[in-house]
Amino acid sequence: MQAVLPSSTGVIDGGVVALAADTTFDELRWVRRAQQADSSAFEKLYRANVDRVYGLCLRMTGNRSEAEDCTQDAFIQAWNSLDKFRGDSAFGTWMHRVAVNVVLGRMRKSRREQDRIRAVSEVAPVRQTIADDGELRDLEGAINELPSGARHVFVLHAVYGYSHGETGDMLGIAEGTSKAQLNRARRLLKQQLEAEEK
């Protein structure tokens, strides 16, 4: 059983290390081993974090297969840049950032491809919802219909609770832009949900 520790210190591999909030000793030990190219330790990190990473990718892309690809890419990128993870934040938080970057990178690329495809025929992206609850399903469907800029801000800020500063940092936009996008998202969601009620 993993004990979730508050921000404190611990001993890993004979050295005293600082543990970020929500980081477990096991997790940090896996990170250390994975940093030494131990793929079995990285698999443990994957198992412990995949649902959160996949959930984020799914909210941001609104598409299961795209979310799966993003999740795979995110873990591959994390493996390749594990040496940059210093343990200042929890591994899950770091993975979130990696995943956001992967989603944005893939969307930029697919946008270019979609622009090319749309020149031939109008193709609407397939949206899928995952929530069981009816109200949540409606909200999820409405979020998926948001323009990508507003959707990303809404997902990171309103769903995952990142501050506007953190959201702007992850998305590469100003804090003020994040706030403006959130207001836009609220307005559009309101219109959409009210229209569905009628």
Note the residues at the interface with another protein (CB under 8 A).
Answer: 39, 42-43, 46-47, 50-52, 54-55, 58-59, 64, 67-68, 71-72, 75-76, 79-80, 130-131, 133, 135-136, 139-140, 143, 154, 158-161, 186, 189-190
What is the token pair recorded at 52? 């959160």
Please report how close the Cβ of residue 7 comes to another protein at its closest, in angstroms: 22
Which one, of 164, 134, 168, 139, lies nearest residue 62 by Cα?
A: 139
Q: Name which of 19 and 160 has its Cβ closer to another protein.
A: 160
Q: Which long-range contacts (C-beta less than 8 Å, at least 24 apart) are formed by 1-8?
A: 2/26, 2/27
The answer to whether the CB of 86 falls within 8 A of the CB of 31 is no
Which residue in the block uniquely carries the two structure tokens 């836009």?
Answer: 184
For CA atoms 46, 47, 51, 52, give the dihedral sign: negative
Q: Name which of 25 and 79 has its Cβ closer to another protein.
A: 79
Half-sphere exposure of 176 (CA within 13 A, CB side): 0
Please report how close the Cβ of residue 46 comes to another protein at its closest, in angstroms: 6
Q: Name which of 72 and 89 has its Cβ closer to another protein.
A: 72
| Residue 8, H or E segment | strand 8-12
Please report how close the Cβ of residue 177 comes to another protein at its closest, in angstroms: 19
Please report how close the Cβ of residue 11 comes to another protein at its closest, in angstroms: 28
Q: Name which of 10 and 55 has its Cβ closer to another protein.
A: 55
Q: Name which of 117 and 131 has its Cβ closer to another protein.
A: 131
Please report how close the Cβ of residue 173 comes to another protein at its closest, in angstroms: 19
According to DSSP, the β-strands at 15-19 and 8-12 are antiparallel
How many angstroms separate the CA atoms of 7 and 18, rounded?
Answer: 7
What is the token pair recorded at 2? 């993993």
Please report how close the Cβ of residue 28 comes to another protein at its closest, in angstroms: 20
Q: Name which of 17 and 93 has its Cβ closer to another protein.
A: 93
